[in-house]
Amino acid sequence: MAGKRSTADILDAAVHVRAAARSATSGAAGVDTVLTALSRVVEYDHASLARWDARRRRHITLAGSYPADATAYIETRLHHDPVFAVLRGPARGGLWLGDVPGHLLTASPGFQEVLSPLGIADGVAQCLFAEDGRYVGMLNVSTRRPRSTPDPARAVVTLLTEALAATLDAGTRSTAAPPARPRPGGLSPRELEVLAELTAGRTNREIAERLYVTPRTVGTHIEHILAKLDLPNRAAAAARAAAWGIAPAP
């Protein structure tokens, strides 16, 4: 039962998660092995690792055990849930179900329509970020049993976020189609995404919210875009993007 394992057992299990993540990152094993190893850290009834597809603006489940309707919610609706705004906020910490304020649970379609009907009593949702700050996806873990307090597994899950993020980032690279042609202006993929957002007249903060980065990061990308394209301002950059047929994702 959860809560009866020692901290040493949980830390030992975490070592296996990191090893599974390294194998998945190198392509030697599937992402499902990471979730299996994670079950020894935090016992769960359902779990999933889903990467963020920035172009399609949805999550793609790489491994998971949720029912089909819950998986569909995670993939297509979770990023609009009011709880998600807290998850991807500046703190970027995992949010355990027992810690979610009551008013957020009431406003959350994910809890009301998906988790509650499944009888979920506890669990954690954790946004995952690459080393360069990109949002790459998320971990969702759910259990029908309330967990004990204090719970050493909470801290251990937080310690595993870098390894889990690397696994999803590798999945993004391995499933992405190779570029069919050189990138316009020598811009990076992220710079092209920012450039596309400029054509819609969005502010740095609005672009940051859509791409899950900080406004300061967006500003840096715009500076690089203007320098690479030798353009005077963002309006000129937007015009250049329009001429190239570049448009933001829906």
Amino acid in the structure at residue 207: I
pLDDT at 180: 45
Q: What is the mean pLDDT of residues 8-18?
A: 92
Indicate the range of 64-68, 69-73, 245-249 predicted with least confidence. 245-249
For 101-111, write each residue's pLDDT tens digit.
999 999 999 99
End-to-end CA distance of the chain: 45
For domain 7-175, give the fold. Beta-Lactamase (3.30.450)
Percent of the chain exceeding pLDDT 90 equals 60
**This prediction's pTM:** 0.72
For 125-182, write each residue's pLDDT tens digit.
999 988 878 889 999 999 999 887 778 888 899 899 999 999 998 855 544 444 444 5
pLDDT at 176: 43
Q: Where are the domains of the chain?
A: 7-175, 184-244
Instruction: Provide Rg for the chain, Cα atoms.
Output: 20
Indicate the range of 69-73, 188-192, 203-207 predicted with least confidence. 188-192
Q: What is the mean pLDDT of residues 79-97?
A: 83
The continuous run of DSSP H or E covering 226 comes out as helix 215-229
Indicate the range of 37-51, 81-95, 202-216 predicted with least confidence. 81-95
Percent of the chain exceeding pLDDT 70 equals 92
Which residue has better confidence, 228 or 170? 228
Decide if 168 contacts 139 (C-beta within 8 A).
Answer: no
pLDDT at 54: 83
Q: In what order do the strands lie in the sheet with 95-96?
A: 58-64, 46-53, 135-143, 122-129, 95-96
Alpha helices, DSSP H only, in 27-151? Answer: 31-38, 68-76, 82-87, 102-107, 109
Residue-averaged pLDDT of the chain: 87
Which CATH number is correct for 184-244, 3.40.640.10, 1.10.760.10, 1.10.10.10, 2.60.40.10?
1.10.10.10
